[in-house]
Chain A
Amino acid sequence: MALPLEGFRVLDLTVVWAGTFGTTLLADLGAEVIKVENVHVWQPMTRGGQARPSAEVVKAGAGWAVGYPNAEPGPRPWNYAPTFVQQFRNKHSMTVDLLSDEGREIFANLVSKSDALVENNASGTLEKLGIGPDFLREAREDIVVLRMPAYGSNGPYRFARALGVHLESVMGHTLLRGYPDLDPSYITSIFSGDYVAGAHAAFAIMSALRHRRRTGEGQFIELAQAECAGGMLAQAFMDYSMNGVVQERIGNRSLDGRAPYGLYPARSEGDGSDAGDRWISISVMDDDQWLGLREAMGDPEWARDPGLRNEAGRLERHDELDGHISEWTSSQDDYELMHLLQSHGVPAAPVLDSSRVHDDPHVQHRDLNEPLDLYDDVGTFRYNRPFLRYSETPLRIRKPPVALGEDNEYVYLDVLGYSNTEIEGLRERGHIGMDYDPEIP
């Protein structure tokens, strides 16, 4: 049996996370996803913050931003940026200089052999490159194209530059989250806008391909990432729409008035010194679970108060409950608390920092990671595997996260049909390569 999307070819002009996650899902599902890249153009936040970060930069920043292999920039940092490399599995990469006429010709050839194209560049980028809708339709009449502008292709915000966090601010998310007792300047970034946009992108491409199978018709899909994020804020939107109520920040508490509901201090084995703190989340969703929590705690006297038997009573005294529960949790191991509470039917789990993920029994049991060597020899590391589980068409890592230009030979020779001599010429004219221009910092 073939993978669900085997036989479909998708061109990937995505940057940063939102679009890139969408094409990762399509690649996991079996599509031949080809990243179209340019060794003369550095796309910020796509293969790293910088092409060639200095040793100082690599030394200084957060793990997720500049934690390069072995804490060194390495021979080709752009193939190992921790912020991005997990979204390169199962993809091909070819390079072509889209700033040249010849490059656009090559690209038209590639479009003609492809089913779909996904891009989430700043609005107007494809048009500036001369590869806008007319060009694409001319190259392939029934092409399915998905574009992911931040705020849409029309209206006053269409050219606004944005990452996910900015468009979520515009949609209201930032003022709906964070510590209710602190000034909004204490609200730090989240990245859910990228997630939902990417997942919708993959859904949309597959849906549009189904439409094409039934009608023969391609189309240009517009996914405005701000609008796509709306579903995450549904309850706040509905409260305003139905009641004119503007909801306020409630931190870690329950939207539905469940109580107690929050994070409580805990401990863990091993060295927590440079992370400092350990937390367990506990969510009591109903009165039965409250009884479960009481049992787990050994039914202390304060918890036997009849006023706490119903949710309304607990909600009213949430701060007081938090104090008691914190006292109980603070000396205990977070995983042991999880097992104890769950055995009493209470939703609870440690708040894992990134250093503990690989050791978790669930992560290990579900084989969520796989050790791999990538193109340059920088060592064997564990990378995320596809996370969708199909019983008959199992998804796996067919290709490790791809290096810049790693598949030039395959794409130019086998897909596009150029001869070896022609390819030599293309290489000389700067289309084909595996290194960004030396002057790019």
Chain B
Amino acid sequence: MTDQHGPLEGVTVLDLTEHIAGPYCTKLFADFGADVIKVEPPGGDPSRSVGPWYQGMPGVERSGTFFYFNTNKRSLVLDLEHDGAGTVIERLIQRADIVIESQPVGRLDSLGLGWERISSLRDDLPLVSISPFGLDSPYRDYRISDLVLYGFAGEMYSIGVQDREPVKMFGTASLVECGAAAATATMGALTAAELQGIGQQVDFAMADAQFNGVDRRHAATMGWEFAGRKSLRAPGPAAGMLSGVYPCADGYVEFSGAAIRIPRLNDMLGRPDWLQEEKWWRPGAGVIPELVEEFNAHFLPWALERTKREIWAEAREAKVLCGPLFSVDELFEDTHFSDRGFWATANHSELGDVQLPGRPLIMPASPWSLRRPPPLLGEHTDDVLSECGFEASEIEAMRRSELIG
């Protein structure tokens, strides 16, 4: 029988992260079996105060953003600015296997809760600090948004078209990239702690994760370094023989360099007579402007007679790189993903059953699981403190002094 608790069962994470990147990192830990104790300030993680709101009504337990990024975690409300916070954090540290934080650089240190304190209590406990620019950068106190981060350190400059401004990805995508990389950094630290007893600080800079990640910035800087060649935005919409987004009967489909494998493109289009001419089959034909124009004159009517699903089915059969542009409602209704079990449902005590994207990957012997919905604010304060050995009377006193909530 497989272990149904996930590969990180038995790991206790002390989670002092907020907003998107840090919480995505700790969500992966929680969803794969770790006990993640999320320390929230009075009033809650700032992601509780952004939408989308359940049924359009704001509320601390109604944020769709908080909902997604905090499944399987337990919430403890603790005022880190309060004099008594150190005592509670110390006990939490004693029970933790790893600490992850995304507070403003230097905040925990100034509260006496930073690396110095942690390493003096436990020499085998790793601390992962997630920050925009790292702990020692000349920009360490600078602030970011997803836009500022992606524009500066990601490859945003070359996304979009030349006579317009560069344009970013959806929502907080760049922060989720960073959160996923931070989870890798954290797993590395946890592995070193478990195998070698190493406690250490991991200085995770989101800017570094963009500059040196794989989101094409690595390639654009290499092209500049190697050849002094810049990577610029495209001159206009879809160009080349099937590269880009094209209209069809009921929406749009995307292709990438389809003419590079002309036999497959030929199959997809049903081997039409016009495409049998030798000129299309010469290497490099796909970038000759006159040929591209002629090709499009044949291709566009073909596409406009077909739905995106029909075109994608032809492309799949012919092994042509292609994807239909689905809207979110079309994706939710798509049976490929629902039949595979991609969507999950969390039962929330205030909101009822809520559907959300499920596992990012399938690990059959130690599976992802939704063991609990995102926590109510402070839902587990008493449980966690009592597990840490505090008496009910002590907890009551902490609550009266507004140390906890």
Contacts and interface: CB of A to CB of B under 8 A. Distances in A.
Nearest to B157: A353
B356 interface: yes
Instruction: Determine which residue in A187, A188, A247 has the highest number of CB atoms from chain B within 10 A of its CB, and name it.
Output: A188
Given A166-B254, A388-B202, A179 B64 contact: no
B176 interface: yes
Contacts of A237: 68, 328, 332, 356-357
Contacts of A1: 192, 196, 198
Contact of B231 (A63, A228, A281, A365): A63
Given A154-B340, A192-B173, A195-B214, A389 B203 contact: yes
A251 interface: yes
B324 A199 contact: no
15 contacts: A4-B195, A57-B284, A87-B214, A154-B340, A188-B160, A195-B180, A195-B213, A206-B191, A214-B3, A349-B149, A355-B224, A361-B139, A369-B221, A383-B222, A384-B211
B363 A172 contact: no
Interface residues of A, number: 174
A155 B336 contact: yes
Interface stretch (A64-72, A106-114, A421-429): A64-72
B187 A202 contact: yes
Contacts of B219: 64-65, 82-84, 86
A177 B170 contact: yes
Contacts of B321: 161-163, 166
Contacts of B320: 161
Nearest to A395: B188
A217 to B, nearest CB: 5
A127 to B, nearest CB: 16
B364 A195 contact: no
A357 B237 CA distance: 27
Contacts of A202: 184, 187
Contacts of A206: 184, 187-188, 190-191
A228 B320 CA distance: 22
A387 B213 contact: yes
Contacts of A70: 226-227
A176 B137 contact: no
Instruction: Determine which residue in A70, A151, A382, A387 has the highest number of CB atoms from chain B within 10 A of its CB, and name it.
Output: A387
B268 to A, nearest CB: 11
B220 A63 contact: yes
Nearest to B219: A64
Instruction: Determine which residue in B10, B238, B360 has the highest number of CB atoms from chain A within 10 A of its CB, and name it.
Output: B360
Contact of B326 (A175, A255, A258): A175
Contacts of A215: 3, 365
Contacts of A323: none
Interface string A251-290: 1101111100111010000000011110101110100000
Given A242-B52, A281-B147, A67 B171 contact: no
A234 B172 CA distance: 9
Given A86-B219, A285-B145, A362-B137, 9 more contacts: A25-B184, A60-B287, A64-B222, A155-B340, A166-B323, A185-B247, A213-B194, A346-B143, A361-B139
A275 B184 contact: no
Contacts of A361: 138-139
A254 B143 CA distance: 16
B238 A185 contact: yes
B61 interface: no
A241 B354 contact: yes
Interface string B312-343: 10011001111111111111100011011010
B65 A238 contact: yes
A181 to B, nearest CB: 9
A183 B252 CA distance: 10
Nearest to A177: B170
A258 to B, nearest CB: 7
A62 B214 CA distance: 17
B266 interface: no
Contacts of B358: 227
A178 interface: yes
Nearest to B208: A387
B147 A238 contact: no
A210 B7 contact: yes
A366 B215 contact: no
Nearest to B3: A215
Nearest to A215: B3
Contacts of B234: 188
Contact of A365 (B136, B222, B233, B336): B136
B312 A160 contact: yes
B362 A222 contact: yes
A261 B227 contact: no
Contacts of B54: 242-243
Given A67-B227, A162-B323, A173-B173, A234 B208 contact: no
B226 to A, nearest CB: 5
Contacts of A276: 162, 232
B185 interface: yes
Given A165-B256, A353-B158, A393-B198, A261 B147 contact: yes
Contacts of B102: none
Nearest to B201: A391
Interface string A1-22: 1111100000000000110110
A64 B234 CA distance: 13
A358 interface: yes
A189 interface: yes
Interface in B337-387: 337, 339-340, 342, 351, 354-366
Contact of A252 (B67, B147, B339): B147
B171 A357 contact: no
Contact of A381 (B211, B216, B225, B355): B225
B223 A65 contact: yes
A433 interface: no
A85 interface: yes
Contacts of A157: 316, 336
A214 B365 CA distance: 12
Contact of A227 (B148, B232, B342): B342
B241 interface: no
Nearest to B20: A234
Contacts of B198: 1, 392-393
Given A222-B362, A358-B225, A199 B171 contact: no
